[in-house]
């Protein structure tokens, strides 16, 4: 029996992936100001259709979910139509694509909010750092704590976004509960100081995520839904007093849903302890009965090793996919990789976005 590697097929939900090279969600800030994907985005995703699965850049579920300029949404008809052009192109090239659903919570800024209102969060705690606005970086503001009666509206936004994703032709969705955004802010006790049914003990901090998951699963079917967690990621000033206990329990609770996959990023290993007492995120693999995806600075050799050891079923690649639209084929052939240009990661035009050469070029 041959060892599992990046080119072993895998059943994920209702799909069979031809390889295990997943394109990680990558914010590129190249949508229209109204959050509509455009022709440039269509070409970008089409070029990368050789991935076993594409996870889109984080996509806002509502106007109040926005936290960065020129990021896409999926709450209105124009955005759905823009994404339909993307999914049609990816499917036409033989690919598969999930939409990552996003609410940034406290790391937005009034400049990015409708009517200049304050961003929302589980608790009125301002993160350290700066928001990126159309006028440049500005210090984060103190967010407004969501009232108990507002939380069903957040859940409804995710449900509607999930339904819109299917209408746009996506093969499924990934709920973004990582990287210091709203759902992650509820999970970790450094950002959630509530004393109601959504704060305190781990199960209560996880309640909003579980309600969102139930709504999204109802809209899409569990076999078209994944979720992303970031247990040791300090980005956006995030921390927890006991990440191992918190995320072990969260994974157990997510096990009630027969999801397509669980996506856990290992980002934070390079600063162990910055987000709370460090533990190895790959420990969570043993608690998950389904498909497990990992992410965090992997190259081909490390990816094959973690797959062969059974510690993950899929590996998501970020930066390598920025500069190598045909990354799986390069890995298959042992071909050299294009070097990425960090100056073009966020915002701009086709340069550093759709002009990286493929092997065929």
Domain count, the chain: 1
pLDDT at residue 42 is higher than 70: yes
pLDDT at residue 264 is higher than 90: yes
Contact in structure between 126 and 191 (CB atoms under 8 Å): no
pLDDT score for 361: 77
pLDDT at residue 207 is higher than 80: yes
181 is catalytic: yes
Please give the share of the chain, as a percent, with pLDDT higher than 90.
98
Angle between helices 151-167 and 207-220 (to 10 degrees): 30
pLDDT score for 50: 98
Nearest CA among 249, 263, 256, 183 for reference residue 222: 256
Domain with 312 in it: 10-344
Give the model confidence (pLDDT) of 332-349 as tens digits. 999 999 999 999 999 999
**Within-domain flag for 112:** yes
Global pTM value: 0.97
Torsion of CA 52, 62, 216, 238, to 10 degrees: 80
Strand ranges in 77-167 using DSSP code E only, listed in sequence order = 97-102, 120-121, 130-133, 136-139, 144-145
**Within-domain flag for 352:** no
pLDDT at residue 309 is higher than 90: yes
**Within-domain flag for 318:** yes
Question: Strand, coil or helix: what is 99?
Answer: strand
349 CB burial (10 A radius; 0-12, 13-18, 19+): exposed
DSSP 215-259: HHHHHH-GGGEEEEE-TT--TTT---S-HHHHHHHHHHHHTTS--
Q: What integer best gives the mean pLDDT of the chain?
A: 97
Q: Which residues pair with 316 in a beta bridge?
A: 22, 295
**Within-domain flag for 353:** no
Give the span between the Cα atoms of 42 and 37, in whole angstroms: 7
Contact in structure between 143 and 125 (CB atoms under 8 Å): yes
**Within-domain flag for 164:** yes
pLDDT score for 128: 96
The CATH number given to whatever domain includes residue 339 is 3.20.20.70
Tokens found for residue 25: 């969600």
**Within-domain flag for 349:** no
Give the model confidence (pLDDT) of 123-175 as tens digits. 999 999 999 999 999 999 999 999 999 999 999 999 999 999 999 999 999 99
Give the span between the Cα atoms of 260 and 220, in whole angstroms: 11
pLDDT score for 1: 43
Q: How confident is the model at residue 185 (pLDDT cuts 50, 70, 90)?
A: very high
pLDDT score for 360: 84
Give the model confidence (pLDDT) of 64-104 as tens digits. 999 999 999 999 999 999 999 999 999 999 999 999 999 99
Q: Which residues pair with 227 in a beta bridge?
A: 175, 262
pLDDT score for 153: 98
Q: How confident is the model at residue 2 (pLDDT cuts 50, 70, 90)?
A: low
Give the span between the Cα atoms of 185 and 177, in whole angstroms: 8
**Within-domain flag for 24:** yes
N-term to C-term CA, the chain: 36
Give the model confidence (pLDDT) of 283-302 as tens digits. 999 999 999 999 999 999 99
**Within-domain flag for 357:** no
Of 45, 68, 158, 181, the active-site residue reads 181
């Amino acid at each position: 029996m041959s060892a599992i590697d990046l080119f072993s097929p895998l059943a994920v939900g209702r799909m069979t992936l031809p390889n295990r090279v997943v394109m990680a969600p990558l914010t590129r800030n190249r949508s229209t100001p109204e959050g509509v994907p455009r022709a440039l985005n269509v070409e970008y995703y089409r070029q990368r259709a050789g991935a076993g699965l594409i996870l889109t850049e984080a996509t806002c579920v509502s106007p109040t979910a926005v936290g960065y300029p020129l990021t896409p949404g999926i709450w209105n008809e124009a955005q759905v139509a823009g994404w339909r052009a993307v999914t049609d192109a990816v499917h036409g090239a033989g690919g598969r694509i999930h939409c990552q659903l996003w609410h940034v919570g406290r790391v937005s800024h009034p400049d990015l909010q409708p009517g200049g209102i304050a961003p929302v969060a589980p608790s009125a705690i301002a993160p350290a750092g700066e928001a990126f606005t159309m006028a440049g970086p500005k210090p984060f503001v103190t967010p407004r704590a969501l009232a108990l009666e507002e939380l069903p509206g957040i859940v409804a936004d995710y449900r509607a976004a999930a339904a819109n994703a299917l209408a746009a032709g996506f093969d499924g969705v990934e709920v973004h509960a990582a990287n210091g955004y709203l759902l992650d802010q509820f999970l970790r006790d450094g950002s959630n100081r509530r004393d109601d049914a959504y704060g305190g003990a781990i199960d209560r901090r996880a309640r909003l995520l579980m309600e969102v998951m139930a709504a999204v699963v109802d809209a899409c079917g569990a076999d078209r839904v994944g979720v992303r967690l970031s247990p040791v990621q300090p980005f956006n000033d995030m921390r927890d007093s006991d990440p191992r206990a918190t995320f072990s329990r969260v994974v157990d609770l997510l096990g009630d849903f027969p999801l397509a996959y669980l996506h856990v990023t290992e980002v934070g290993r390079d600063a162990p302890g910055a987000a709370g007492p460090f533990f190895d995120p790959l420990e969570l693999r043993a608690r998950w009965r389904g498909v497990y995806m990992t992410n965090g600075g992997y190259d081909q050799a490390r990816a094959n090793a973690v797959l062969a050891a059974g510690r993950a079923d899929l590996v998501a690649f970020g930066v390598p996919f920025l500069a190598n639209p045909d990354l799986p084929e390069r890995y298959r052939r042992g071909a050299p990789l294009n070097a990425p240009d960090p100056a073009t990661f966020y915002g701009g035009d086709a340069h550093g976005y759709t002009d990286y050469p493929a092997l065929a070029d």
